[in-house]
């Protein structure tokens, strides 16, 4: 209990320090556009991916009727590099359709929309929420405790069940793709990459690296795929996860990470954990001043 309270206090202190610097959410003039720009119209779209062209950054989608705009048909849409890379033929999707003044259609905010995935994510989120509520004030997982089960989506839009990681040691942290503060999320990701390289060089097998987004409303699978691709991350054992807001909230509670939007600013703390093959937390570092070698040194080979 005492450790718990002390940790929370430390976390809030870190947040206070952060507020001074501010971990901003870009979105003002000149930032990468997300959502409608002037003169664009927006619609909701559902359909099935027929093919993806990563070079031209387009998806061919057999879409359902778009209310107030067009009947069901198969056509091409401009998408981001990450969405083009993450998409696979036959995948059902839902997205926001933007049409500019010249009639050019573009999809953003693309999420998997097949019933099997949605049902398992929904069931996983409900179980996680029940677990969080039942544990109440004891929800915070300390070193020695077992991590909660979760069902999220990875950077390719595939369901990522925590069972996938059982039997492997996991190095886990929380980040968000738009974090503009160099020594917060960008530094954490760079250190995770370094730990991945060190672990590989040390011959440590059965280790997975997992980064869960703090900003699921923006960080779709495609956005996370682009985040990983831009950094040249080897995703063979490094996953970027997103999912329902409620599941992310519950995980933040259980992992003792604070993330709060204040207007356009996401104030957040950082935590990096090492979890053993049985799902027990064996080490934890708060903030971003930890060394990759500390974690790799604690991994079993
Ligand atoms: Cu950040």
On whether the CB atoms of residues 299 and 169 are closer than 8 A, the answer is yes
The residue behind tokens 């080897």 is: 234
What is the 268 CA–ligand 1 centroid distance (Å)?
A: 7
Closest to 144 in 3D by CA, of 296, 290, 301, 4: 4
Beta bridge partners of 283: 274
Residue 28 falls inside a structural domain: no
Model pTM score: 0.87
Confidence of residue 35 (pLDDT cuts 50, 70, 90): low
Confidence of residue 30 (pLDDT cuts 50, 70, 90): very low
What is the 225 CA–ligand 1 centroid distance (Å)?
A: 18
What is the 75 CA–ligand 1 centroid distance (Å)?
A: 37
Rounded Cα distance between 298 and 224, Å, is: 28
Around ion ligand 1, which residues have CB less than 5 A away?
23, 179, 184-185
Rounded mean pLDDT, 206-231 = 97
Which of the listed residues 113, 143, 163 is the one where a domain comes to its end?
Answer: 113
Mean pLDDT is lowest, of 14-23, 91-100, 250-259, 284-293, for 14-23
- For residue 49, the enclosing domain spans 41-113
Query: Does residue 29 or residue 70 have the better pLDDT?
Result: 70
Residue 6 falls inside a structural domain: no
Confidence of residue 10 (pLDDT cuts 50, 70, 90): very low
The sign of the torsion formed by the CA atoms of 69, 72, 73, 74 equals: positive
Output the pLDDT for position 36: 66
Nearest 5 degrees, angle CA 159-CA 79-CA 101?
A: 140
Residue 283 falls inside a structural domain: yes
Nearest 5 degrees, angle CA 231-CA 234-CA 237?
A: 135
Q: What is the CATH number of the domain that holds 289?
A: 3.40.30.10
């Amino acid at each position: 209990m005492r450790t718990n309270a002390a940790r929370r206090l430390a976390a809030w202190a870190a947040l206070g320090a952060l507020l001074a610097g501010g971990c901003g959410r870009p979105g003002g003039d000149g930032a990468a556009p997300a959502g409608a720009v002037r003169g664009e119209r927006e619609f909701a779209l559902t359909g099935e991916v027929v093919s993806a062209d990563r070079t031209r950054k387009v998806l061919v989608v057999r879409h359902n009727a778009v209310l107030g705009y067009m009947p069901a048909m198969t056509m091409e849409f401009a998408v981001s590099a990450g969405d083009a890379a993450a998409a696979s033929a036959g995948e059902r999707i839902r997205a926001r359709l933007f049409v500019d003044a010249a009639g050019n259609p573009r999809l953003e905010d693309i999420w998997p929309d097949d019933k099997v995935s949605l049902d398992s994510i929904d069931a996983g989120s409900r179980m996680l929420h029940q677990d969080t509520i039942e544990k109440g004030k004891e929800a915070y997982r300390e070193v020695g405790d077992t991590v909660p089960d979760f069902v999220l989506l990875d950077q390719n839009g595939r369901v990522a069940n925590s069972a996938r990681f059982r039997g492997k040691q996991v190095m886990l942290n929380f980040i968000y793709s738009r974090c503009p503060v160099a020594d917060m999320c960008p530094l954490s990701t760079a250190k995770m990459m370094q730990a991945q390289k060190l672990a590989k060089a040390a011959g440590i097998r059965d280790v997975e690296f997992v980064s869960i987004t703090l900003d699921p409303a923006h960080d779709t699978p495609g956005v996370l795929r682009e985040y990983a691709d831009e950094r040249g991350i080897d995703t063979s054992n490094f996953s970027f996860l997103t999912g329902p807001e409620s599941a992310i909230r519950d995980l933040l509670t259980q992992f003792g990470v604070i993330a709060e939007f204040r207007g356009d600013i996401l104030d957040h703390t950082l935590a990096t954990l090492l979890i053993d093959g049985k799902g027990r937390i064996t080490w934890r570092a708060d903030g971003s001043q930890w060394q990759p070698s500390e974690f790799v040194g604690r991994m079993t080979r």
